[in-house]
Structure 1
């Protein structure tokens, strides 16, 4: 009897548990088998070749130069010391200041009292920006913690550090801080020469007035404390003023709470610069009280009292803009100021001296320091021996920014016969910094002569003689991580894939190619193949299969100085360049050509369309070319004009007409900049325009229509989708054109989605499925719908959510899949830490197949810019992306097996 009762109880419990399990299974979502990675778990490294990594933004103190350096993948700070002949003393490539896995930038430095330097910077090792510091000895030894000393690691961000001496071998540092989450405030900290912070942890509050206080500048008060000034928005964002505060050696605030107003005139006062002497500080700022940026100055004593005119002395109130002031002491209690001045037709460098008494000494609006018929900008000034100064600026007399210098005296008179060029290099010379040391001016800059920025320096004598190499001495051109980006890919036989991408290994961004087999083997060498290696930038590679295991590759090319042209090359199945003359230009017109797109011509060649600016007014038109398998240009030596109407034609998309020709759609501005419309044209394989001259109007509704995308309808016509503001907010519209270019749906198209807020940037998954970016829920999500060939919405007016969750999902890619389905990829910031790539498959009924909100493509440290390639014949999908593992930008990929 007991056994029967036990058996009955067991059966009841068993069936109850089974019923619960069935209910759970029935209530749980079911998904098709997720994609199966076939290459390494975190992706296959397709290219991460080392090369001429960028070095940029040098700063100098004495003969020590510090810069941002990308050799490790992240922008970390490096330092170098030069001797009087410009030779490096701290190794060939300098010393790392505080290596870490995060970008470091916005650095400043001062001399310590032992011939070394103290450096402060923004640091992103903890994702938000923190403030760190380091001290380096005169011998290049790291004196504080190897990875730097944290000055502030408070939540949210800390930015724009400024530094001055504490008079005891340490430093006082100020920054603007977002810890309050209501606006930027000003904080400060003191660090001793031993690397110990001595004020309150994470800094002493200098100002937390309402509104924004930011970009502080700092100077010593010569008794161990500091004066801090900043741009202050407590009166409103359109009425910024200049405020200041003094803090003593112990961290005590000496002036009134939240600072004193240095200038509170009407309109904006911003971007202060300052210097100090034993009597007080002189502050110079950009001032809009007269309706355009002028320069004003004020001197404040150490009690916080204004010495000059209440709202400042006018340095210059000339017409148009005066900006970017640089200051130096005049040796008599006043200041010498130089700036960029737009009062003449061509921007020039002007200067002014304000005496100790606050009197402008060089005329009402200053004087031009080096008159020229060429643009000048970005001056800086350093004091030399006695009462003389050297001024350095960017000068455009060679057609690009180069550095020139001139010496002036106390009267603003030029002392050299002519301005002195600091380098004969052939690349941009920018972001100059300068110091005076032992009768020698040292100027450092970032130099574009080798494609990427490197750091150069020049020595200049007091007589204006160049002391080092003609082009300047190389301070750093280190080899390291470089950018590999903007990959595109196509299929080749036997499940192989061909990619082309931008690659900066040479310093210039050149186009490289690689072939990968189904197992993930790199077939064209571990570093890929240069498609056309030149000492010029190449951008935006496009690929078309040649039908024989190779590819046509088309790109923008800047080898012809002054113009960007479209070039092409054919790569054979083994990676050999097949056009013996090298790459070919699609025109030889002296005008910019950009944004090429290409498709097969179904005869072994390719069709290419681009934006062309040969118009006499520089307007953007659309041109095309057909290229034979041997590289012959079949539509004339300078291409076929598709549309040259008034206004710009740009932002285009192309598809095949299924007969060896193409159909193109574009955004057209012939009706005005504020009313772009959508047009289309059909071109036969022979280069004949088949629709209306100037294009067929697809949508001419009021307001903005833009970003059209196109797909063949399989019957000689096309379906076009675009972003449309005709209804007041941005929506998605579409139109079907038949083979004769006649609209098959309502005039101006039918709405695909008119939900609240913005929908934009549609793409096609196949001939029915349209996917777009959607802001209906207050952040960017991904939605889709399907249209029948008769223009009927198949998935309801709301569409179907592909990914809908907080943070951002955008940058869509899509490809057709079996049985009327599609696969979508996008960039996704749901982690809140970095962008990642997600995938989703959707069938013809609007049902998603994989996990809700998408399947994560696994990477080590995030990914962006995905590209998709479906290979349904072998049930696989290839995804490539820009991978940020290690801080660099590499090309990675993954092959997925799909059920």
Structure 2
């Protein structure tokens, strides 16, 4: 039954992709690397270190590792891909095994949205030793998180995780042998699963082939701490767990170190008194308590100046003692310092009873990590804010002798104090070399850096560390991107958060018809960094393919709009930092809009300006016109939404749309508490056009003093007879429908003065998109989302310029499904046909959104063999809000793509080129036959072979028929060379280019003549 359901789903997926997308895969316009650093690293036996992280450089989140030496070399060359299955792999752990290899475990979301546990073994040469994709450690339904892992003494590992299969949170574990075979029950055995929650834990080998673990337990109240020991076969060594602490108050953040003779020391944060103190205890292999109880490492509760001691860390030293470091507020109630203590195996405090002040510099020091030296001392690294507090985090370190003597400079040695943030340091000792690494944002995005010290404390690498791996962070925020057509390509513009700790910037990229990009990957900024945020980009392409942009910039005291002019090649013409739109600096400027009047070579710019008018602060609409690189309306522009001085205080106006020299805005009447829509045409001189009121034309005469005069969000398009404006209107029933008005160039309302209700279903309407093509300004076509009982469907309508609906009284449904479809974008080809794309939530399994699309002929007929639309992108996670640019009869779509998302949503920008499958407006027949046609394979699904058929009509160019997997990797080339005209039939036997059988799954086959591609999907099911 399950196989049948799976088969139906796959068949549906294949049928969905029958329209022609012209590029084999969507093009990443802005795809970040988004490194997640988990402090995962280990020393090696040959004087190196291995570090593990996850990143999204391939789109989805994968796991990577790199080995580095003390000379700053990446030993494996390129990073090693540990796992690249679909969806995301994250939160890795690594441990060295007793056979001098390494096991990496992680949380894997490829086959379970809640996450499973997988593991992989690698050797010191960077080779995977277990199966590709790792071995499943736990695939039980529900959430598995928070890994812990240690080696056994036979080349295997113990892995512990927090598991939600039962009510509450429990600890489960698995023992893998050296080959990755699970030795305990499949999906793990319960390590601690009492009623209540067991979560935070600390684990080490017991020296006898088993493991010792301590964990926190709570049941409707404070946390207590227990310890258990497990033998190699998974049996518990004691009849009952040992209670380390179960007094009143929270005891948590337990950590552990191993001494000789089968003894273990635990340290924790203890809140049995007024504030947290640091406590410890030692037990043996039998679970016997060995130190006095309670054992206080340091506690000042009950004293006059008590303060918090927090987050202890512990390490065993080479002289069979332990060193404990903690965060301490005794000197500063707001910022933590670091104190440290050494305790002998017999429980004697060896250093100052109050602890040794490790670092008491200004601001906070925290997140310490330790590693032992070979002389009874230790190395410590921590995050340090002494150089200006956050975001000026730095990495500092110290070396303490066995007696607590500071061997590096007082208050710590600066390991890295480069600009911006460095944190999450890790220290490992390899052949008496001290490897320290950390997460570093000195360049705005996250990188991983490291430094090596010899035993004398001398740095072996460059000052502030050696870069190990770096990649773009941040994303392209939703609704802050544009796509605009140029003569031969498109430009994509977006707000980018890659330098979030420095300031968001506006970036852009040129995308060619063949899917290549002209600028460096991930685009270039419109200005150099100003150290402040840029947002709300607006732009227009000029007749010479240059671009004028406007955006809101926070570099000044108040938010202000700046401009840039980019030539056709992307060079900055108005300086590396742009120019301010106005010389004056009002309280705020926002809502920039840019429009180009090509016949006069005029660029119009509009915005909302917040400043003092008639003695009161209000937003009003302003405008500027630029011609021949010069501002034509003075240094500060002109007020568009002008009112007599006595009326200023009763209105607030914010700009919504600008088409050439027509400004449309929303006017809030502050006396009547109503909203209405105004439009105004302005001459090139800056004067109000003849026939238009100085304050703009109220597009609907619906009375402003009516309580239900709630008109919002106007959008507009030029027509052969003036301008069409439509808006959301709540009149009558307080449900917002779309209304429209057609206005002549002389400011005359051409339709009903009240406005025309464009399609009144008696339901809420939103997300309107108007098709705008200068060749078809004799009619008006638009689409919107119709809210049907909380679900959204997409409807399109055409109106004549005389207000007559052309597609029935209510328009035609583009898509109508029992789910949410929203954010339509409608664009028109030069043949009169249209393409519409939208965000589609029809995936009821994952509840994630895809991008779907359809074609619409000029008569309103839909061109699509699937009522739900073709799939433009159904990658993992959410895809949102497509936008489309048309060049002649080809379209380019861009959308916000969440395939890199994990713990938080990360949005990239992806693009795809679409064919035009509509019929020309003046030609009732189907367009001419294409140069080749790729047909659906048969059988499909198949096992083991399938026939791929295609028709060649043009033999000018050679053809290539390739097979790809879903990651876009070439599997096999079936055809390469010139072909005869006619029908061709090729058999694929399910093998790759090396003759190996490929696994079951979805594959793509692509036929190309070097000018265009056609792609279809097929399913191999064994």
Please, what TM-score do these two structures have when normalized by structure 2?
Answer: 0.62
Contact 2:783–2:826 (CA<8 Å) still a contact in 1?
no
| 2-structure distance, mates of 1:592, 1:204 | 63
Partner of 1:79: 65
Contact 1:584–1:631 (CA<8 Å) still a contact in 2?
no
Partner of 1:660: 661
Contact 2:623–2:639 (CA<8 Å) still a contact in 1?
no
Q: Relative contact order (C-alpha < 8 Å, sep 6+): which is higher? A: 1
Partner of 2:205: 220
Give the alignment partner of residue 578 of structure 2, picking from 584, 603, 607.
584
Shift of the 363–562 alpha-carbon distance from structure 1 to 2, 3 Å rule, reads farther
Query: After the TM superposition, which residues 227-626 of structure 1 pair with which residues of structure 2 at under 5 Å, given as runs?
Result: 227-230=212-215, 232=217, 234-235=219-220, 244-254=227-237, 262-263=245-246, 265=248, 272-277=254-259, 278-285=262-269, 294=276, 297-299=279-281, 301=283, 303=286, 324-329=311-316, 336-339=324-327, 344=332, 347-353=335-341, 369-384=358-373, 385-395=375-385, 397=387, 400-408=392-400, 416-461=409-454, 464-477=457-470, 487-492=481-486, 497-501=490-494, 511-516=507-512, 530=524, 532=526, 534=528, 541-546=537-542, 549-554=545-550, 567-572=562-567, 574-575=568-569, 577=571, 579=573, 581-582=575-576, 584-586=578-580, 597-600=592-595, 602=597, 604-607=602-605, 609=607, 626=624
Contact 2:446–2:472 (CA<8 Å) still a contact in 1?
no
Q: What SS does the corresponding residue of 2:184 show, helix, strand or coil?
A: coil
1:754-802 CA deviation, whole Å, 9 max, x = no partner? 99xxx9985566999895696956xx65578999999xxx9999x9996
Contact 1:553–1:569 (CA<8 Å) still a contact in 2?
yes
Query: After the TM superposition, which residues 638-649 of structure 1 pair with which residues of structure 2 at under 5 Å, given as runs?
Result: none
| 2-structure distance, mates of 1:721, 1:177 | 49
| 2-structure distance, mates of 1:201, 1:865 | 39
Please, what TM-score do these two structures have when normalized by structure 1?
Answer: 0.70
Partner of 2:994: none
Q: What SS does the corresponding residue of 2:419 show, helix, strand or coil?
A: coil
Aligned residues: 814
Contact 1:513–1:530 (CA<8 Å) still a contact in 2?
yes
Q: Whose Rg is larger?
A: 2
**Runs of 5+ unmatched residues, structure 1:** 1-33, 644-649, 693-697, 747-751
1:660 shift after superposition: 2.4
Partner of 1:92: 77
1:141-186 CA deviation, whole Å, 9 max, x = no partner? 4443354333223344432211122234422110123445x55432
| 1-structure distance, mates of 2:618, 2:134 | 51
Partner of 2:152: 166
What RMSD over aligned residues (CA atoms) do the two structures have, in Å?
Answer: 6.3
Partner of 1:711: 715
| 1-structure distance, mates of 2:653, 2:264 | 57
**Runs of 5+ unmatched residues, structure 2:** 1-15, 44-48, 642-651, 697-702, 755-759, 772-779, 902-907, 920-1022
Give the alignment partner of residue 53 of structure 2, picking from 50, 58, 67.
67
Give the alignment partner of residue 177 of structure 1, picking from 163, 171, 178.
163
Partner of 2:917: 897
1:107 shift after superposition: 1.1
1:780-831 CA deviation, whole Å, 9 max, x = no partner? 65578999999xxx9999x99965546x756665679999999561143616
Larger deviation: 120-129 or 94-103? 94-103
Partner of 1:864: 879
1:188 shift after superposition: 0.3
Contact 2:383–2:396 (CA<8 Å) still a contact in 1?
yes
Partner of 1:19: none
Q: What SS does the corresponding residue of 2:159 show, helix, strand or coil?
A: strand
Shift of the 786–633 alpha-carbon distance from structure 1 to 2, 3 Å rule, reads same
1:264 shift after superposition: 6.9
Partner of 2:1007: none
| 1-structure distance, mates of 2:728, 2:272 | 46
| 2-structure distance, mates of 1:358, 1:775 | 71
| 2-structure distance, mates of 1:206, 1:613 | 65
| 1-structure distance, mates of 2:413, 2:675 | 53
1:227 shift after superposition: 3.4
1:546 shift after superposition: 3.0
Partner of 2:841: 828
Contact 1:883–1:891 (CA<8 Å) still a contact in 2?
no
Q: What SS does the corresponding residue of 2:416 show, helix, strand or coil?
A: coil
